């Protein structure tokens, strides 16, 4: 087992539906520690960087529109095998395929309106954490 830090990005649907508290409580109940947290509005430049693998897809403008509907909340969560464990708590990207009891199964709507983004690998987490947090904004507790 190894200690990892993952980015979890609470999407606009989580913010507008007041799901921050209940969802964050699930992560904390699972033993994850908050290393950083902040609310922010995302501009197109950061969205192009974050979703670089999707910018040429015809639905990319819909992603930008959705992600700019409301602020998002970026959270750095640390814990044992955090990358896989957080993704397990969330359930599959497609909320319609997510089992009840998972975060997306309980609160998500579809593939885009699915409450949170979470890093999918240690390498991705490192890049994503740097994208959303300055080094002095990450705290070891």
Q: What are the catalytic residues?
A: 117
| CB distance 73 to 38 below 8 Å | yes
The span from the first CA to the last CA of the chain, in angstroms, equals 19
Close Cβ partners of 54 (under 8 Å, ≥ 6 residues apart): 60, 63
CB count, 10 Å around CB of 81? 13
């Amino acid at each position: 087992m190894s200690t990892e830090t993952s980015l979890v990005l609470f999407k606009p649907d989580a913010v507008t539906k007041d799901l921050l508290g209940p969802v964050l409580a699930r992560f904390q109940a699972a033993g994850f520690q908050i290393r950083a947290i902040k609310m922010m509005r995302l501009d197109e430049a950061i969205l192009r960087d974050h979703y670089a693998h999707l910018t040429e897809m015809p639905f990319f403008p819909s992603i930008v529109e959705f992600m700019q509907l409301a602020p998002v909340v970026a959270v750095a969560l640390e814990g044992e095998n955090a990358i896989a464990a957080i993704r397990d708590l969330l359930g599959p990207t497609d909320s319609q395929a997510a089992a009840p009891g998972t975060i997306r199964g309980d609160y998500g709507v579809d593939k885009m309106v699915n409450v949170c983004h979470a890093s999918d690998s240690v390498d991705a987490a490192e890049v994503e954490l740097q994208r959303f947090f300055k080094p002095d904004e990450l705290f070891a507790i």
